[in-house]
Amino acid sequence: MPAKTDYRFRASDAGHLHWEKGFRWGLLAVFLCGCLGTRGETPPSQAPTAQQMEQLAAGHEWAEIVRLTGAMKKRPAEMDFYYGMALGQVGRWDAAKEALEEGQRRAPGDPRFAVELAGIAFKQKNYAQAARRLRTAIRLEPEDPYANNFLATVYFLEGNLEAALKYWNRVGKPAIEDVREDPEPRIAPALLDRAFAFSPAATLRLPQFIDSEARVRGLGVFPQYQFDLEARDDGKFDVVFRARELNGFGDGGWEKLFLFFRGIPFQGVEPGFYNWRRQAINFDSLVRWDAQKRRIFGQLSGPWEHGAKYRWALTTDLRNENWAVRNGFAGPAPVLASFNMRTEKAGFDLTSYASGRVGWMAGAAVSHRDFRSAEAGAVLTPAMLDAGYELRQEARITDVLWRVPERCFQVTAGAGSEAARLWSPHAEAFEKLTGELGWSWFPRQEGDDYAMRQSVRAGTIFGQAPFDELFILGLERDNDLPLRAHIGTRDGRKGSAPLGRDYFLENWEMDKNIYGNGLVKVQLGPFFDIGKIADPGTALGSHKWLFDPGAQAKLRVFGSGLVFSYGKDLRSGNNAFYVMLLE
């Protein structure tokens, strides 16, 4: 049996033949190893070029692109783009996403990766992720028509029409062919047409859409409304206005009864008549027979000169109230001052709804007051209880400082002034100045399933004002400065909430929709209030900062309803349960 030949290199005097054989086989082994090492890798001279990939993509040859670029071990970012795009076209979503994200890491300034990743998310119906990817692409290339149009389409499908218009307008879209109402409202067509700032056969612009919403709201006959876009086969859209309209005493028997009798639990009724002669002329009123705080209120309002940009209002307000000023609504809180107050007021104001960004109101009012059975104690000055006539001028302005449609977020600010002259024994003049800053946010793109709001308000009075002109922080049905763990009445009499000349109030709340069927809606959420009020020279005011956390439930029926709230005063430990009307 012949001996086994050893071809390995051996350094021996008699091994020259063995060395020569080992050298030849070694060269063969090196060659084979080199072939095996390069198997599956395209030689540099045969690597595909970007021009070739572009031509293949234009011909939709996705499988060929996958074959050529997938064979590369180290792909440049350009090849990652074509590889990921082709994988997406053949339905390999995970692999496509991995390739595109790798290319994006290598070329973070290239917007094409974000656009293709958005396309994958869109095909998987992950619209929120698609929108995030497209916003990234637009930050890198703001004028890209494809990305802007794509992002607008995503927001449109999510139900965020305002955000869709923002990005469509950048590419000259959407083209409106017709404007329709469904169902057709009873309001005069010419008046409703003046409320729409846009017109058929034109491009719908975002400022026009916002202005139209403000003017429709200003008509006062549509408690619920929305604008929808319906796509046409020719690439254009129809605008469809859908709304619930108030006519006469209400729209239907149950609605009429509810609107009239909703104040019964509070010893009052609220008769109203809407859209008289189809001209959006409305009458709102309140008749309250509560023995401690009787009130008759009426307001007649309508569009100025048959348009929708401005609205006039005539108001009358008669009150007969018994007051008992205390330091709290619960526990030991003796009466510090008491009186009966009667006031009669008539006024006129004009409100602008011309713009969805800036709004204003200007008006004037004349009033008379007198105080009976007054016991001022040590907290009220004689000037506060002066009887006589008053002439007042009022002005208010609001402005949307910042609007982010894609986030459903906006910041607003407002300021108000009331200057008045008294004809009374002390013949005083005074001015009330107020300011407000607030924001609102709807976390979801469509609807109001979640809503979060916060406002910060402050006010001061210059000069000597009568008692009924002081600010009140607390829950009371005639008060609009809620500190929700402080109730403004005790034993039916007003005066148990902190009041004074200078105040600061912060209100934060969040609402979550619990139930809704179109007519009835139930919301639940927490709130947190912070307030302080003072009256220099008197014992009135809170004297300290007040902190009121709590929770509330809102029940809406036919657009109106009730608020059930629970608040806890962290200073005193008092608990406050309260129910009031929701407008």
Task: Report the SS3 class of residue 45.
Answer: helix
Give the β-pairing of 237-244 and 175-181. Answer: parallel
Least trusted range by pLDDT, from 43-57, 335-349, 519-533: 43-57
- Please provide the DSSP assignment of 326-353 as one string: -S-SSSS----EEEEEEEEEEEEEEEE-
> Could you check whether the bond before residue 174 is cis, i.e. omega within 30 degrees of 0?
yes
Max mean pLDDT among 38-52, 143-157, 247-261, 556-570 falls in 143-157
pLDDT 10s digits, 282-341: 999 999 999 999 999 999 999 999 999 999 999 999 999 999 999 888 888 899 999 999
Quote the DSSP letter at residue 559.
T
According to CATH, the topology of domain 175-244 is: Ubiquitin-like (UB roll) (3.10.20)
Q: Look up the CATH architecture of domain 253-582.
A: Beta Barrel (2.40)
Measure CA of the first residue to CA of the last residue in the chain; give whole Å: 110
At 46 the pLDDT is 66
Question: Is residue 43 very low, low, confident or very high in pLDDT (cuts 50, 70, 90)?
Answer: very low
Assess contact for 118 and 130: CB atoms under 8 A. Answer: yes
Is the pLDDT score of 4 beyond 90? no
Is the pLDDT score of 10 beyond 60? no
Q: Among residues of the chain, what percentage have pLDDT more than 70?
A: 92
In the chain, where are the structural domains located? 1-38, 44-171, 175-244, 253-582
At 26 the pLDDT is 39
Q: How many helices (H) and strands (E) does the chain have?
A: 12, 24
Burial (Cβ within 10 Å: 0-12, 13-18, ≥19) of residue 476 = buried
Domain 44-171 homologous superfamily, CATH: Tetratricopeptide repeat domain (1.25.40.10)
Two tokens, residue 392: 């007042």
Is the pLDDT score of 427 beyond 90? no
CA distances from 47 to 50, 183, 435 (A): 10, 63, 68
Strand partners, 525: 552
Assess contact for 494 and 476: CB atoms under 8 A. Answer: yes
User: Which residues in 476-538 belong to E strands, given as ranges?
Assistant: 489-490, 493-494, 499-500, 502-516, 520-534
* Mean pLDDT for the stretch of residues 480-487: 96
pTM comes to 0.85
Two tokens, residue 208: 């026009």
Neighbours of 366 (CB within 10 A): 13
Is the pLDDT score of 360 beyond 90? yes
The torsion angles phi and psi of 139, rounded to 5 degrees, stand at: -65, -35
| Contacts of residue 303, Cβ cutoff 8 Å, sequence gap at least 6 | 191, 219, 279, 280, 281, 310, 311, 312
Strand partners, 507: 455, 529
Two tokens, residue 462: 């210059």
Question: Is residue 157 very low, low, confident or very high in pLDDT (cuts 50, 70, 90)?
Answer: very high
- Cα-Cα-Cα-Cα torsion 299, 303, 309, 315, nearest 10 degrees, comes to -20
* Mean pLDDT for the stretch of residues 102-116: 93
Is the pLDDT score of 353 beyond 80? yes
Residue type, 477: R
> Could you check whether the bond before residue 2 is cis, i.e. omega within 30 degrees of 0?
no
Give the β-pairing of 175-181 and 489-490. Answer: unpaired
Mean pLDDT of the chain: 89
At 133 the pLDDT is 96
299 membership: H or E segment, kind and range: strand 293-303
Report how far residue 340's alpha carbon sits from residue 320's, in angstroms, rounded to the nearest whole number.
Answer: 7
Is the pLDDT score of 515 beyond 50? yes
Report how far residue 570's alpha carbon sits from residue 359's, in angstroms, rounded to the nearest whole number.
Answer: 37
Burial (Cβ within 10 Å: 0-12, 13-18, ≥19) of residue 235 = exposed
Report how far residue 306's alpha carbon sits from residue 193's, in angstroms, rounded to the nearest whole number.
Answer: 11
Is the pLDDT score of 250 beyond 80? yes
The torsion angles phi and psi of 297, rounded to 5 degrees, stand at: -125, 140
Query: Taking the CA of residue 367 as centre, how many other CA atoms within 13 Å lie in the half-sphere pointing to its CB?
Result: 26
* Mean pLDDT for the stretch of residues 197-218: 96
Two tokens, residue 416: 């108000």
Report how far residue 394's alpha carbon sits from residue 420's, in angstroms, rounded to the nearest whole number.
Answer: 9
The torsion angles phi and psi of 205, rounded to 5 degrees, stand at: -95, 150
- Three-state secondary structure string covering 255-278: HHHHHHHCCHHHCEECCEEEEECC
Assess contact for 446 and 158: CB atoms under 8 A. Answer: yes
Strand partners, 515: 522
Is the pLDDT score of 5 beyond 90? no
